[in-house]
Amino acid sequence: MNGLFRSPVIAAGLLALSAATAVAQVKTGSPAPDFTLQGSDGRTYKLSDYKGQVVALEWLNHLCPIDAQQYAGGSMQAVQKEAKDKGVVWFSIISSAPGHEGYGTPAEVTADGIKFKAVPAAILLDPTGKVGHLYDAKTTPHMFLINKDGVVVYQGAMDSITPRTPDDVKKADPWFKNAMEAVVAGKPVANGTTKPYGCSIKY
């Protein structure tokens, strides 16, 4: 199945900006629900195995134009690289169901990551949507940050600007990046909950 990173053409109709008005099931300041998912690399990843480390969760859809802007400009990869350098474990999660927009086989998903020089710790496959629903993930991207104690300290948008133009990523206030840097430095997150925007997840 073709994905954003496998096709240069993105139909405008694929963009469905989510109002994201529902109350999240995971509250900022509460423990992050544990989960186990298979990575595109064939390994099994369990969130609780990473307690004691800061963990970033990024919901990803290869066909989402918002993700296209983040990745095509290199901004998402730059934050992933900073996370890696700071010892933050970054998981990209694909909750698209088979036959729906954004779904990819392990081989396709791995190839996408290599092509766009993404550097998450792993790309996790959630084709049943179980983990996406557990976190009430609404959009791609939808970001969550979990501190060393296993508590959600940030959830919401990657940054502050929507709707977007190609230059908006550079001008936006980097909410997630700011939260990550604060947590790594042992400081409180100034704004732990923001409104996510992007393409609705195709459960």
Domains of the chain: 22-200 (3.40.30.10)
Number of H-type helices and E-type strands within the chain: 6, 9
> Binning pLDDT at 50, 70 and 90, where does residue 1 land?
very low
State residue 16's pLDDT score. 36
State residue 127's pLDDT score. 97
d(CA 102, CA 124): 13
pLDDT exceeds cutoff 60 at 7: no
d(CA 22, CA 36): 25
The token duo for 62 is 């290869």
Residue scoring higher pLDDT (62 or 153): 153
pLDDT exceeds cutoff 60 at 12: no
Token pair 């109350």 in the structure block, residue: 23
d(CA 185, CA 20): 30
State residue 163's pLDDT score. 65
pLDDT exceeds cutoff 80 at 22: no
> Binning pLDDT at 50, 70 and 90, where does residue 133 land?
very high
State residue 3's pLDDT score. 45
**Closest to 35 (Cα-Cα) out of 167, 114, 180, 134:** 134
Residue scoring higher pLDDT (114 or 82): 82
Q: What is the mean pLDDT of residues 77-101?
A: 97
d(CA 63, CA 154): 25
State residue 72's pLDDT score. 83
State residue 83's pLDDT score. 98
> Binning pLDDT at 50, 70 and 90, where does residue 11 land?
very low
Q: Which residues pair with 37 in a beta bridge?
A: 45
Q: What is the mean pLDDT of residues 44-72?
A: 92
- Furthest CA-CA distance within the chain: 43
